[in-house]
Amino acid sequence: MMDNVAELLILTLVIITALAFDFTNGFHDTGNAMATSIATGALKPRTAVALSAVLNLVGAFLSVAVAATVAKGIVNLDGVSGDALLTIVFAGLVGGILWNVFTWLLGLPSSSSHALFGGLIGAALIALGTSGVVWGGVVAKILLPALLAPVVAGLVAAVGTWVVHRIVRGVPEKAQERGFRWGQVGSASLVSLAHGTNDAQKTMGVIFLALVAHGTVTADDHIPFWVIAACAVAIALGTYLGGWRVIRTLGKGLVEISSPQGMAAETSSAAIILTSSSLGLPLSTTHVATGSILGSGVGRPGAEVRWGVAGRMGVAWLITLPASGLVGAACWFLAHAVGGATGILVVFALLVAGCFAMWRRSRKEPVNPDNVNDEWDGGQPSLGDAVDEAMAVVTSIEAPARPDARPEAASPAVPAAV
């Protein structure tokens, strides 16, 4: 058994890492609410992310149903010692963060929720075997919503867009744009509020798991208020940072979107996310938002839908759970092999190094509020590009002191479009 000081150190690192995940969730998912409003000009980019941050903060206080699902419905707590559970939670968080930052680097709107769950499942499997995962909860509360959410969101948005265009077909296009931009502000705000009620809760659940492992609370206790407040602030700060690379892909890469489409997409997203939050389902807001945007393109006569971009995003969705699971399993193995607080510190150092390396590479082709609405040039990384990018990042972690040792031809720059 770890001594008290070491155990407290590990608990502190787990909580810090959980809040870091919440922060990445914020900037990775900003586009779910605000990409279409930014693309149509309904909101200026910086105004959009500031508004979204405030509403995410408020939404995080409205419900804890999803947090309870994460805390009690994914990892089997029966017979797991506090030391083992802390390491599992930590390794799962590292897997989720690294996948979030990597897909942000590529401008791919993958699911932060699935990155977190994949990391936790991978760490639990290698640590405890198949009995360490609540498989019924995984199927009912992760896999089925993942399959149904984008389809339902797309159908609702397609019907909504078609109805809207039928109603206003005699109205001049410029007048439509002016009127629906105000509607977009309201619908985008509702998505941001809904995002706070769903995604911030996931980190609350993870921190609650860590507190249970440490013995600070029991599995039947309520989530402490300080956990709710800390997670609300973390996701709001991440949202305010703005995940411009992902915002660009959602706003310009899938569909050339108009204000009526944007309002229909956002309204359908908000309705589905709020419904799932009330039922305690940890839904992927990325899947919902993407399905809604695609549906709005299908529902608008003559709209261009870039199915190639959508297909590459679909591949990223499919590999999110296994990829983050492998990282979570590897992190647990390394932390366990080194042992104790030292093992946790080693993995934490690798996490910091990996995130820094990916941030540094993103500076080669920055996407920011000034160029997020530039015309889409077709640039979108393929799976091969993603592998090349991952290898380049690993190389930069192994040899940070020799940036000149990486010739430009060895790894293609991330396209400006992401």
Q: What are the C-alpha distances in Å from 362 to residues 55, 69, 293, 372? A: 28, 35, 26, 14
The helix-helix angle for 285-299 and 4-40 (nearest 10°) equals 10
Using alpha carbons, select from 271, 292, 295 the residue that is nearest to residue 193: 271
In a domain, residue 263? The reply is yes
d(CA 184, CA 189): 8
Question: What's the confidence (pLDDT) of residue 412?
Answer: 37
Q: Is residue 407 part of a domain?
A: no
Segments in the chain below pLDDT 70: 1-2, 63-73, 77-80, 280-282, 302-303, 377-418
> Buried b vs exposed e over 29-59: b needs ≥16 C-beta within 10 Å?
bbbbbbbbbbbbebbebeebbbbbbbbbbeb
pLDDT value at residue 22? 94
Is residue 413 a part of any domain in this protein? no
Q: What does the angle CA 269 – CA 37 – CA 61 come to, to the nearest 5 degrees?
A: 55
Which pLDDT belongs to residue 358?
A: 93
The CA distance from 410 to 407, in Å, is 6
Q: Report if residue 35 sits inside a domain.
A: yes
pLDDT in tens, 196-207: 887 888 888 889
Contact 285, 30 (CB under 8 A): no
Measured CA to CA, the distance from residue 266 to residue 281 in angstroms comes to 19
- Amino acid at the residue 315: V
Stated pTM of the model: 0.83
For residue 218, tell me if it sits in a domain. Answer: yes
The token pair that represents 54 in the structure block: 């405030």
- Please, are residues 269 and 153 in contact by the beta-carbon 8 Å criterion? yes
pLDDT at 416: 37
Query: Is 271 among the domain residues?
Result: yes
- Cβ pair 87, 336 in contact under 8 A: yes
Cα separation, 145 vs 142, in Å, equals 6
Phi, psi dihedrals of residue 121, rounded to the nearest 5°? -65, -45
Query: How far apart (Å, rounded) are the C-alpha atoms in residues 179 and 181?
Result: 6
- Cα–Cα distance, 137 to 81 (Å, whole number): 21
Question: Residue 403 has what pLDDT?
Answer: 43
User: Bridge partners of 75?
Assistant: 133
Q: Which residues of 311-330 are buried (b: 16+ CB within 10 A; e: fewer)?
A: ebbeebbebbbebbbbbbbb
Strand partners, 255: 305
For the chain, what is the domain count?
1
> In which domain, by residue range, is 373 found?
4-397
pLDDT digits (tens, 9 = 90+) for 229-257: 999 999 999 999 888 999 988 888 888 77
Give domain status of residue 338, yes or no: yes
Sign for the CA dihedral angle at 37, 43, 49, 55 comes to negative
Q: Which of 98, 97, 76, 99 is nearest to 88 (CA)?
A: 76
Around 3, how many Cα atoms within 13 Å sit in the side-chain half-sphere? 3
Instruction: Let me know if residue 178 belongs to a domain.
Output: yes
Alpha-helical segments (H) within 106-224 = 112-128, 135-138, 144-167, 173-214
